[in-house]
Structure 1
Amino acid sequence: MPDINYKLIQLEEVDSTNEYAKKLVLHEDILDTYVVVANHQTHGKGRLGRKWESPRGMGLWISIILKPGKSHEEMVWTNFMVSVTVCEALKELTRLLFELKWPNDILINGKKICGILTETVNKNKKVFLIIGIGININQQDFPGPLDGSATSLFIETQTVWDRWVILEKIMSGFDDNNINLSPEIITRWKSLSGMLGHRITVVQGDHTFEAMATDIAKDGALVVERNGRAEKLYAGDVHILVN
């Protein structure tokens, strides 16, 4: 159990830690940072309505509830800060090379090991941020659709990891980065990215196109070059093309 300075809620099973966190915000007075941890999610949430596979005891499935008061700009920075915090924590614990992919994936050897989903809840004219984090830790394999595209810390290191150690490391970095939140976090994100300077495919609904990923704008948009022109992307599913 980690030494913590936030409110910890432990659940054996839940549909989704993000959904649980939303209900908590709506029905309780949230005066501190809360972290909801589940041993198993029956309907874990990924981006674009996808399900996040959350087998019992095999990963870190959490949602962080932040107190309101952040500006829109600070909310954008927070999204990048969480990715940086988790990436740096995993790197320090394992000494492996992890890379960030816009908007909120963490990869190792081209495979996804962590996904982050940020949502908001409006209550009494205040906006609460809910940050869902799913990290594959001790899975030895993945079901068919994910085979070849997902990985875990166990697969990469052949070591069984303690999820509480990982949570404590993440939250320690989270506290420091949240207190010192600034635009510099986007620069740190870019230094950990494995996609800038590479060609990518972008899927937006039924529309798919190729482009060159060149930068992250101050407002969090992915800047790409397509047909000789720079464009900003605020949404989409991005895949790095292998040369």
Structure 2
Amino acid sequence: MADSSPYQLDLHRIIRETFVEDGEVWETIDSTNNRAKTLVGRPDLPLPFLVAAEHQTAGRGRGNRRWWTGQGSLAFSVILNLPITPGRPIRVPESNTAIDNATDASATGGQLAPESAAGFLGLVGALSVCRAIWPLVPPTVPVGLHWPNDVYVAGRKIAGILVEVPANQRVILGIGVNANNVAREAPEELRPFVTSLRDICGTFLDRTDVLISILRHMESQLEVLARNPAELASEADRLCLQKGHHLILETEKRRYQGVCRGIDITGGILLETSEGLRKFVSGTILRSDSLPE
């Protein structure tokens, strides 16, 4: 694990100042989500539990995508219990929009199953990052979401979220934020498409401060999710940068094209297709006419 240093994450302070009950910080690890998977089955694990790393050798995004973890970036995973509030199951509001790829009946209303929670928790992660970085960037710089799992600043990707539901009514919420790393040090193919807080702000940031802010917002967003998922989805819709743009979306069954109409109250994305308005609760955005992939 990482040694204590003013340049490294301060785990004791993180535990003291956030809702995290315990955690660990690694100097180098393959993936914080991979490590979290080895811990998630422990019945005695204090939750929420944080796994953070100074450097990842095999950071993961959705599907087979890799996540670049440059020197000075922020990579962490939080193991959470479902339902978020013990004894109070999360319920998804009803939606009249046709669903093309719902995984279970909860996508149209009713109790939120662990598999369906992934979409909402991805929004929790993205909104938490947005709220944490708003005070750090100039007010004229646009900050928003790229459904289903990215945060963009000034038109470039600054953070990604990976939610996994391994077992035991527990979920892993993984987040990678480009903090003190810089785009010019990214792999050549990524440089035109990524940015970092250091690139935007022009200065080094205390990553412990950034992580504490994200975790505090995460706690409040989880409370919103437990109380009123539609409220969470509404804020995500307000911050959706794809709205009004043409998207190509791939599901397990087929590809769809259409103009994005935002994020609906169940957390799915709305596309105006040649077949009418359709909602997708999961899927991969292959191309957008406004944002790089």
Q: Scaled by the length of structure 1, what TM-score is found?
A: 0.89
Q: Within the alignment, does 1:152 sit opposite 2:196 as a pair?
A: yes
Gaps of 5+ in 1: none
* Residue number in structure 2 paired with 1:235: 283
Q: Within the alignment, does 1:213 sit opposite 2:227 as a pair?
A: no
1:193-215 deviation digits (Å, cap 9, x = unpaired): 11112222334579655310013
Partner Cα distance (1:217, 1:29) in 2 = 37
Q: Within the alignment, does 1:137 sit opposite 2:184 as a pair?
A: no
* Residue number in structure 2 paired with 1:190: 237
One-letter code aligned to 1:218:
I
1:21-68 deviation digits (Å, cap 9, x = unpaired): 010112452232011110011110111211111134x11100011023
Partner Cα distance (1:206, 1:190) in 2 = 25
Q: Is the 8 A contact 1:201 1:241 kept in 2?
A: no
Q: CA 1:238 to 1:102, structure 2 compared with 1: closer, same or farther past 3 Å?
A: farther
Aligned positions of 1:42-191 closer than 5 A:
42-56=57-71, 58-70=72-84, 71=90, 73=112, 75=117, 76-95=119-138, 96-122=141-167, 126-140=168-182, 141=184, 142-181=186-225, 182-183=228-229, 184-191=231-238
Percent identity over the alignment is 28
Paired residue secondary structure (2:70): coil
Aligned positions of 1:8-19 closer than 5 A:
8-19=23-34
Q: Scaled by the length of structure 2, what TM-score is found?
A: 0.75
Paired residue secondary structure (2:38): helix
Return the offset for 1:189. Answer: 0.8
Q: CA 1:53 to 1:242, structure 2 compared with 1: closer, same or farther past 3 Å?
A: closer
Moved more, 69-78 or 47-56: 69-78
Partner Cα distance (2:47, 2:69) in 1 = 27
One-letter code aligned to 2:75:
W
1:188-238 deviation digits (Å, cap 9, x = unpaired): 111111111222233457965531001323332211011151122221225
Q: Over aligned residues, Cα RMSD in angstroms?
A: 2.2
Paired residue secondary structure (2:37): helix
Q: Is the 8 A contact 1:83 1:106 kept in 2?
A: yes
Q: CA 1:40 to 1:28, structure 2 compared with 1: closer, same or farther past 3 Å?
A: farther
Q: Within the alignment, does 1:30 sit opposite 2:32 as a pair?
A: no
* Residue number in structure 1 paired with 2:95: none
One-letter code aligned to 1:22:
K
- The structure that is strand-richer by fraction is 1
Paired residue secondary structure (2:163): strand
Q: Is the 8 A contact 1:212 1:226 kept in 2?
A: yes
Partner Cα distance (1:218, 1:73) in 2 = 13
Q: Is the 8 A contact 1:102 1:238 kept in 2?
A: no
Q: Which protein, 1 or 2, shows the higher relative CO under an 8 Å CA cutoff with sep ≥ 6?
A: 2
